[in-house]
Amino acid sequence: MPLSGIRILDLTRLLPGAFCTMLLADMGADVVKVEEPGGGDYMRWTPPIVEGQSVLFNALNRNKRSLTLNLKSEAGRDLLLGLVDRADVLVEGNRPGVMDRLGLGWPVLHERNARLVMCSITGYGQDGPMASRAGHDINYVAIAGLLGLNGSKDRPPVPLAAQVADIGGGGLQPAVAILGALVGVHRGGEGRWLDVSMTDGAVSWLALGLAQMAAGEPVARGDHRLGGRYACYRVYECKGGGYYSVGALEPKFWTELCTAIGKPELVDLQYATGDDGERTHRAMEAVFLAKTRVEWDRELAGLEVCCEPVLDVEEVASHPQIAARGLISSGPGGVEVRPAVLMRDDWRRRDAPGLGEHSAEILAELEVDEARLASLRREGVV
């Protein structure tokens, strides 16, 4: 596997850091999830619970090992520092300043291991007036401008169905940055501290909208280039409920669609706005309301029109394309999505670990024997 031999210490909780380190574990990294004794990651106990563990935790923590350490104790910090000496990456998700107060900040870790990559995932970054402010995904996308664009122009903003800031800004973004930093170390450079802001990540997803706005093009909820302005890129309701997505951006696709639905007069109105645009929207709405979603499936099958049904979550796993790719599997721990980019050569899946399941084997690397481990457990360190 590409990351075999890379050791990652994961001190994060909840979704963002877990998604980040899962991506790296799926590529072969040895991810050690460092958790607080007694409770561990809060997500372990977030309903629904199956066989004593949250299905949400199981979905994000495959292929990892779990070590319990009380980092508020001197002994716990000393053990972590011993692991830092042997690690390639440390990922943490505390508010700015917490690691320094624990005696585990970047200057301390870098002095011990100059090749270490430290990644700090926070809501707003290490500096700025909101750096220490609490928040969650909905707050980050609100500040980033994404939430304000989501929904219809005559209705309030609608929360995004997927956690764009958590997963995009706090999962994908740090994973890419970590890989880049590791390449730098591999080429002879030193490790570095990565300041990852989930809000920054969400703002980066708005790059096209910001560019359009800077050029003088309006960008508003329900009325922007890919958000409801044009009839060729919209969601339409079907007869009897259900919806269809239309993404016929290129003229050839729009022309074929207009021909297929018997509306050739709309071909030249693909990007119409104002009164013409409104009439085009109304015409398309009437067309799609005339048939059910299933009927549109049959009508548009085999055509080059960039139109697909809007599936409910319970329909996704059985869709022929998703099933053919083997993306979703079911098991005792719930439903799981396999790596979107699969390392097909020798990828293997291990279940998410129990709390502290691997403490003994990991601490054995630091010559902690059974007697010492028992003592550490009595003291609440492990």
The pLDDT value given to residue 263: 98
Examine the fold and report which residue of 252, 282, 310 is the final residue of a domain before the chain moves on: 310
Instruction: Assess if residue 98 is contained within a domain.
Output: yes
The pLDDT value given to residue 337: 87
Instruction: Give every CB contact of residue 320 below 8 A, 6+ residues apart in sequence.
Output: none
Looking up residue 260, the CATH number of its domain turns out to be 3.30.1540.10
Examine the fold and report which residue of 289, 310, 331 is the final residue of a domain before the chain moves on: 310
Residue 193 pairs in a beta bridge with 118
Instruction: Indicate whether 25 and 173 sit together in one domain.
Output: yes
Indicate which residues carry an active-site annotation. 136, 166
Instruction: Assess if residue 164 is contained within a domain.
Output: yes
Top pLDDT among 331 and 50 is at: 50
> In which band, very low, low, confident or very high, does the pLDDT at 50 lie, cut at 50, 70 and 90?
confident
The pLDDT value given to residue 345: 62
Instruction: Indicate whether 196 and 278 sit together in one domain.
Output: no
Instruction: Indicate whether 191 and 242 sit together in one domain.
Output: no
The pLDDT value given to residue 218: 85
Instruction: Assess if residue 315 is contained within a domain.
Output: no
The pLDDT value given to residue 329: 83
Instruction: Assess if residue 11 is contained within a domain.
Output: yes
Instruction: Indicate whether 154 and 256 sit together in one domain.
Output: no
Query: What is the residue-averaged pLDDT of the chain?
Result: 95
The pLDDT value given to residue 332: 60
Instruction: Indicate whether 181 and 281 sit together in one domain.
Output: no
Instruction: Assess if residue 333 is contained within a domain.
Output: no
Looking up residue 32, the CATH number of its domain turns out to be 3.40.50.10540
> In which band, very low, low, confident or very high, does the pLDDT at 333 lie, cut at 50, 70 and 90?
low
CB under 8 A, 24+ apart: contacts of 181-185? 181/117, 182/6, 182/88, 182/89, 182/117, 185/88, 185/115, 185/117
Q: What is the pTM of this model?
A: 0.94
Instruction: Indicate whether 96 and 201 sit together in one domain.
Output: yes
Instruction: Assess if residue 370 is contained within a domain.
Output: yes
pLDDT at 339 over 90: no
The pLDDT value given to residue 361: 97
Contact between 20 and 121 under an 8 Å Cβ cutoff? The reply is yes
Whether cis (ω within 30° of 0) applies to the bond prior to 320 is no
The pLDDT value given to residue 335: 78
DSSP letter at 220 equals B
Instruction: Give the helix ranges, DSSP H, for the chain.
Output: 14-26, 55-60, 74-84, 98-101, 106-112, 137-144, 146-149, 173-186, 198-204, 207-214, 251-260, 274-289, 293-300, 313-316, 320-325, 359-363, 370-378
Instruction: Assess if residue 325 is contained within a domain.
Output: no
Top pLDDT among 154 and 81 is at: 81
Instruction: Indicate whether 58 and 186 sit together in one domain.
Output: yes
Number of structural domains found in the chain: 2
Instruction: Indicate whether 198 and 239 sit together in one domain.
Output: no
Instruction: Indicate whether 171 and 295 sit together in one domain.
Output: no
Mean pLDDT of 177-206: 98
DSSP letter at 268 equals G
User: Using CA atoms, how far apart are residues 59 and 377, in angstroms rounded to an integer?
Assistant: 29
Instruction: Indicate whether 237 and 200 sit together in one domain.
Output: no
> In which band, very low, low, confident or very high, does the pLDDT at 186 lie, cut at 50, 70 and 90?
very high
Instruction: Indicate whether 135 and 273 sit together in one domain.
Output: no
The pLDDT value given to residue 169: 97
Top pLDDT among 268 and 218 is at: 268
pLDDT at 344 over 70: no
pLDDT at 347 over 80: no
Tokens 């085999």 identify what position? 302
Instruction: Assess if residue 56 is contained within a domain.
Output: yes
Instruction: Give the helix ranges, DSSP H, for 125-266.
Output: 137-144, 146-149, 173-186, 198-204, 207-214, 251-260
Examine the fold and report which residue of 310, 335, 361 is the final residue of a domain before the chain moves on: 310
Which tens digit of pLDDT belongs to each residue from 83-123? Answer: 999 999 999 999 999 999 999 999 999 999 999 999 999 99
Mean pLDDT of 299-326: 95
Which tens digit of pLDDT belongs to each residue from 241-264? Answer: 999 999 999 999 999 999 999 999
Which tens digit of pLDDT belongs to each residue from 116-150? Answer: 999 999 999 999 999 999 999 999 999 999 999 99
pLDDT at 359 over 80: yes
Containing structural domain, residue 130: 7-205+348-378
Instruction: Indicate whether 48 and 196 sit together in one domain.
Output: yes
Which tens digit of pLDDT belongs to each residue from 201-230? Answer: 999 999 999 998 999 988 999 998 899 999
